[in-house]
Structure 1
Amino acid sequence: MPPTNAPELTRAVDPAALDRFADDLAALCAPATARVLVAVSGGPDSLALLLLTHALLGERCVAATVDHGLRPEAADEAAWVADLCGARAIDHAVLRGTLPDRAGNTGNLSARARALRYELLHAHADTVGATHIATAHHADDQVETLIMRLNRGAGVGGLAGVRARSGRVIRPLLGWRRAELGAIVAAAGIVAVDDPSNVSDRFDRARLRKHLAAIDWIDPARVAASASALADAEEAIGWMVRQLGTDRVAAEDDSLLLDPNDLPFELVRRLVEHCVRQIDPAAEIRGSALVRMVNALESGDTAMLGDVLATPIAAKRWRFGKAPPRRLL
């Protein structure tokens, strides 16, 4: 159930915290003109983001709560956030929709809920004229994300963690600790919503969070700095691949020809992915399958991924085209 206390609306956000947040927000958008949609679940992290953003932007701060329909308490929690926003004259909406089917990259429940959440937030941002969507990911989230992805064998892109900016989605709290955000909410006289999924052993992240709580030698701020450096590296590699895509990939009829000569494996891998996606935009590309395709091509063998057939041709050039229809037995 959501908390029943009435927040003390006269308490202002600490000026030092607000100055710090202003610098963080300015690194991601233009606060003087931005209209920011804050995603608010009712938990302490998102409530702190709401308090900081509203204190800085006033009526150019709007809010939305996504009710995924996964827990019976969610509707009451969304209504509680709506009441809190109404008391502070913050424009707020409750967003609902249907979870996407179990397919492709939205196979597990958390991924499907995340896909729905961002779909609804982007649509609402269009409706209210928001220039940016702000979420409350913070330094502790970054540590959890990085460790989970390390455990799954992620590459540079995955280890870049949560990005500070992705399109119009911004995350200005990546340098803040969970405890700092909780203190802002407590100082405002608000008791945040307690989401049971945050402590349920059903979820990988919740189990990891419990283990991390017992470790005092990890510095989340430094881990977040490493993730930021990896994000910079990922951006640089992406830029290089786009340049190479112009020089090394050529169209021929309905096919693409790739020249991978003398390129490092990672660049070849990404150029192959680029070619596959151009031929079959719906292809579900997993890292291991992509590596197998590159290895096969480098060995002089043909390979398939999705509906794409890749074939080595003369002078170490690789051709990518639509695979012939599979024969039914």
Structure 2
Amino acid sequence: MAVSGGPDSMALLVLAAAAFPEAVVAATIDHGLRDASADEARMVAREAEGLAVPHAILKVDGPIAGASLQARARDARYALLADWAEQRRAMAVATAHHADDQAETFLMRASRGSGVSGLASIRSAAVVAGASVVRPLLGWRRAALRAIVRRAGLPFVDDPANSDPRHDRTRFRQLLDRNEWLDPPALARTAAAVAEAERDLGEIALLMWRERAEISPETVTLDPSGLPRDTLRRMVRRAIATVRAAHDITAPAFDESANIEPMLDTLLDGRRGTQGGVVAGRRRGRWQFRIAPPRRSL
């Protein structure tokens, strides 16, 4: 379990310790972003010990700075958790995301014009940084989790970043708090419905991949004829990932969040494009993907 010391994660600690005695372990990430972070991590360690839950404090190497501070902290956090879970041979990493988090995420992504994949918001299970991640509290409200911690008599920390209006999530949290007609459970249910549609679209794309993809040691060839854009988008992403894996390409970066719309437009226009170290173009009505040639130095 990832336990930050906030009320949500402390509730996860209490609930998991009661439901799975001697079967869970916990870790707290010390990002080094605040002076109090080390003390907060030690607080979690003490409470975990009282619940007979083994606990580790994981520290981020080097300072986290620059733009998108929260995103950088998230990446560092999940990388540490994935490595720790592998060392412990854990089945999965559990986080304390709940229904209010889900509602906030849905609104944030809707405001940015996200597609189906983005609007699916926080998945109940996912793979992050190579680790299986589960979110068992998505059906719980923030207030209920806080009440559990208080009844258990455990301390918790309110991260000041959660009330900092410079962060997008804080602004959307305040929007929900100030407008009762915006119902977080209803928004969470909508996100769950979109996630179900996302899974179905993924299964359709996988079926088309099996029927229309030809894979050789050097190339991936797709038959795009008659397929809707969403299916093509997923197949192109998989084709790029397949070529990269076959040739051990690690740079430039490419993952599930990469924007492939320009590449898709290029292929649909019958032109040739490059993304993630992979070049693709049309040949005899099909799309071919292969490792991009090295750039010539001047």
Structure 2 length as normaliser, TM-score? 0.88
Structure 2 CA distance for partners of 1:257 and 1:128, relative to 1, 3 Å: closer
Query: Where do 5+ consecutive residues of structure 2 fail to align?
Result: none
Structure number with the bigger relative contact order (C-alpha 8 A, sep ≥ 6) is 1
Give structure 1 regions of 4+ aligned residues with deviation exceeding 4 angstroms: 99-102, 285-289
Residues in 2 aligned to 1:286 and 1:47: alpha-carbon distance in whole angstroms: 31
Aligned to 1:311, what secondary structure does the other structure show? strand
2:27 equivalent among 46, 64, 69: 64
Q: Identify the residue that residue 325 of structure 1 maps to in structure 2.
A: 294
Q: Identify the residue that residue 218 of structure 1 maps to in structure 2.
A: 182
Q: Output the amino acid matched with 2:295.
A: R
Whether 2:198 is the aligned partner of 1:238: answer: no
Contact 2:64–2:73 at 8 Å: present in 1 too?
A: no
Give the C-alpha shift of residue 323 in structure 1: 2.7
Q: Identify the residue that residue 176 of structure 1 maps to in structure 2.
A: 140
Q: Output the amino acid matched with 1:261.
A: S
Contact 2:31–2:64 at 8 Å: present in 1 too?
A: no
Larger radius of gyration: 1
1:19-98 equivalences under 5 Å are 38-98=1-61
Q: Output the amino acid matched with 1:296.
A: T
Contact 1:39–1:133 at 8 Å: present in 2 too?
A: yes
Whether 2:265 is the aligned partner of 1:295: answer: yes
Whether 2:73 is the aligned partner of 1:113: answer: yes
**Identity percentage of aligned residues:** 44
Give the C-alpha shift of residue 288 in structure 1: 8.6
Aligned to 2:90, what secondary structure does the other structure show? coil
What does the per-residue CA deviation read over 1:25-80, in whole Å, with 9 as the maximum and x for residues that have no partner?
xxxxxxxxxxxxx2111111011111111122222232211111111110000111
Q: Output the amino acid matched with 1:307.
A: G
What does the per-residue CA deviation read over 1:193-236, in whole Å, with 9 as the maximum and x for residues that have no partner?
12111111232111221222101012211211121122122222
Aligned residues: 288
Whether 2:279 is the aligned partner of 1:309: answer: yes
Give the C-alpha shift of residue 176 in structure 1: 0.8
Aligned to 2:77, what secondary structure does the other structure show? helix
What does the per-residue CA deviation read over 1:243-289, in whole Å, with 9 as the maximum and x for residues that have no partner?
22222111356222211001111111111122222223544369795
Structure 1 length as normaliser, TM-score? 0.80
Residues in 2 aligned to 1:225 and 1:171: alpha-carbon distance in whole angstroms: 15
Q: Output the amino acid matched with 1:109.
A: L
Q: Output the amino acid matched with 1:327.
A: R
Contact 1:100–1:116 at 8 Å: present in 2 too?
A: no
CA RMSD of aligned residues (A): 2.4
Residues in 2 aligned to 1:267 and 1:288: alpha-carbon distance in whole angstroms: 16
Query: Where do 5+ consecutive residues of structure 1 fail to align?
Result: 1-37
Q: Output the amino acid matched with 1:268.
A: L
Give the C-alpha shift of residue 326 in structure 1: 2.5
Q: Output the amino acid matched with 1:52.
A: L
